[in-house]
Amino acid sequence: MSSKTIKNYINLISAILGKAIEWEFININVANNISIPKNYSKPKKEQEIYNNEEIKLLFNALENEKEPFKTMVYISFYTGARRGEVLALRWKDIDFENNIIHIIQNKIRKVDGTKIKETKNKRSRSFVAPQILMTKIKEIYNNQNENDLLFDYYPATYTRMWQDFTKRNNLKYITLHDLRHTNGSILASKGVDIVTIAKRLGHLPATASAYYLHAVSEEDKKASEKLNNLF
């Protein structure tokens, strides 16, 4: 198993033992003393992204979808925000006047439900969003309270909706997190510098470099073909 999976199992066991302490069945939570080894033998999952043609198919399929799922996917694609960040967006985080989206908080799973907390690595960020996205968001705005969430969904529910959507429309399946990688790869392929990409996605520049600089874009392939046909 991966280190992350092991950590999730330990967290679950710790939560159960914590409740047992609360009910006075036991005195010590032994799960708190476990160190988590890294499984270096487990191969790292290859990054999956959509190419230009697959993105067109995605948007065509979205046109027939109902709200709010359609806008959730648009936000995931155009912002590169994490699943929990999309689900934690409040109306006051959307600046329609200046086309700015503020990513300030994150919705995470808990044993007994969900919790709103700070973003991963505590890196809040703000960036200008494409007009097409702001128009889509404005279409679902109906004078909601500024502290209301745009989408009231459990994280796993959004994942299931995405899985059903891709299967129903015969789209190549990639995860919602891979949709985030698609955003970063597109920006890199269009010549956006890695520091700007890192800021928009909430990465450290070194992390963003590891994700996106090695990706061979379709534009890069075309450039190679032009060089190959010089003579």
- Give the orientation angle of helix 194-201 with respect to helix 205-212, to 10 degrees: 110
pLDDT of residue 113: 84
Token code pair at residue 54:
């697959």
Token code pair at residue 33:
């003393």
Identify the CA nearest to 65 among candidates 56, 55, 77, 73: 73
Element (H, E) at 73: helix 69-79
Token code pair at residue 231:
């003579």
CB 158, CB 176: distance < 8 Å: yes
pLDDT of residue 88: 97
Residues 134, 98: Cα–Cα separation, whole Å: 10
Residues 189, 217: Cα–Cα separation, whole Å: 6
The segments of the chain whose pLDDT lies below 50 read 216
CATH superfamily of 52-221: Intergrase catalytic core (1.10.443.10)
pLDDT of residue 220: 56
pLDDT of residue 166: 97
For the chain, what are the domain ranges? 3-33, 52-221
pLDDT of residue 226: 59
Residues 213, 60: Cα–Cα separation, whole Å: 29
Residues 147, 157: Cα–Cα separation, whole Å: 22
CB 89, CB 221: distance < 8 Å: no
Element (H, E) at 116: strand 113-118
pLDDT digits (tens, 9 = 90+) for 180-192: 999 988 888 888 8
For residue 119, count other CB atoms closer than 10 A to its CB: 18
Identify the CA nearest to 198 among candidates 208, 189, 187, 188: 208
pLDDT of residue 230: 55
CB 10, CB 36: distance < 8 Å: yes
Q: Provide DSSP, 117-171.
A: EEPGGG--EEEEPPHHHHHHHHHT--S--TTSBS----HHHHHHHHHHHHHHTTP
Identify the CA nearest to 107 among candidates 71, 83, 132, 74: 83
pLDDT digits (tens, 9 = 90+) for 204-222: 766 666 666 655 455 555 6
